[in-house]
Amino acid sequence: MNVVILAGGYGTRLHEKTNKIPKPMVNVGRKPILLHIVDYFLKFNCENFIVCSGYKSAYITKYLEKNYKKLNRNTFIYKSAEIKVINTGVKTNTGGRIHAIKEHLDDEFFITYGDGLSNVNLDLVKKVNKRTETALTISVGHPTSRFGEINIKNNKVENFQEKPKLKGWINIGYMYGNLNLLDYLKKDDIFEVDSMSRLVEASQLSAYKHNGEFFPVDNMRDLREINQIYRDKKAFWV
């Protein structure tokens, strides 16, 4: 089964690092985020990966070529995984990246982002997809507030919550779909806006509610925080 990792964006909010390397190759501990994601999927016996690269694509292939066995021009062996790196273009939107690798897809596959770590139960994501018979199931979670929350009554502080979980649901990646998804995908799509809107209109988008942990690495503050979590041996995705 394929795992498609969207890894081609500029990562502009992490420009202190991404002016030299693509965001999925930024280290958490001593390993790129990309390989942390691969390790997580390996726990669920997913062993065939397609990395949709773009910005600084050559950095990814050179890193893998230097550190791991090369199977062919753009495929590498990492542990029990085969990682195929396909350059889907620097300015290509997320939907276009998936469209560009459609010929490499199995009948069913996962899709996730190259900058997000989580402890999503992937087996449960698959179960939701099978039960709902939809083209795509996304994992959704409650985002964590960037700020602490203060509850006040009669001008007195009753309690203070440090960065609580917010009530709404957001797409956190770790998606599971099948080839029917391609019917709702165009090569210039922003996947999360254009493609998913068509899926919603056709009742072909379902969601798995994840109440565990997830962490998108968007900026330097996030990178420092996730590395601290890793150093403290609290890495929820390991």
Report the SS3 class of residue 119: coil
Predicted confidence at residue 162, as pLDDT, reads 67
Predicted confidence at residue 157, as pLDDT, reads 72
CA angle (186 as vertex; 113, 114 as ends), nearest 5: 10
Burial of 217: CB neighbours in 10 Å, binned 0-12, 13-18, 19+: buried
Domains in the chain: boundaries:
2-141+168-231
CA angle (221 as vertex; 24, 176 as ends), nearest 5: 40
pTM, 2 dp: 0.93
Greater pLDDT, 162 or 211: 211
Predicted confidence at residue 134, as pLDDT, reads 99
Q: How far apart are CA 7 and CA 65, in angstroms?
A: 17
Quick one: how far is CA 228 from the chain centroid? 20
Q: What is the DSSP letter of 170?
A: E
Q: How far apart are CA 161 and CA 152, in angstroms?
A: 12
Predicted confidence at residue 152, as pLDDT, reads 80
Render pLDDT for 90-121 as a digit per residue (tens, 0 to 9): 999 999 999 999 999 999 999 999 999 999 99
| Arch. (CATH architecture) of 2-141+168-231 | Alpha-Beta Complex (3.90)
A 10 A CB-CB count for 126 gives 17
Render pLDDT for 174-209 as a digit per residue (tens, 0 to 9): 999 999 999 999 999 999 999 999 999 999 999 999
Q: How far apart are CA 156 and CA 165, in angstroms?
A: 23
Alpha-carbon distances of 103 from 22, 50, 67, 107, rounded to whole Å: 25, 11, 28, 11
Q: How far apart are CA 28 and CA 150, in angstroms?
A: 32
Look up residue 83 and give its amino acid: I
Q: How far apart are CA 7 and CA 27, in angstroms?
A: 14
Render pLDDT for 115-153 as a digit per residue (tens, 0 to 9): 999 999 999 999 999 999 999 999 999 987 666 667 787
Alpha-carbon torsion angle 182, 185, 188, 191, nearest 10: -110
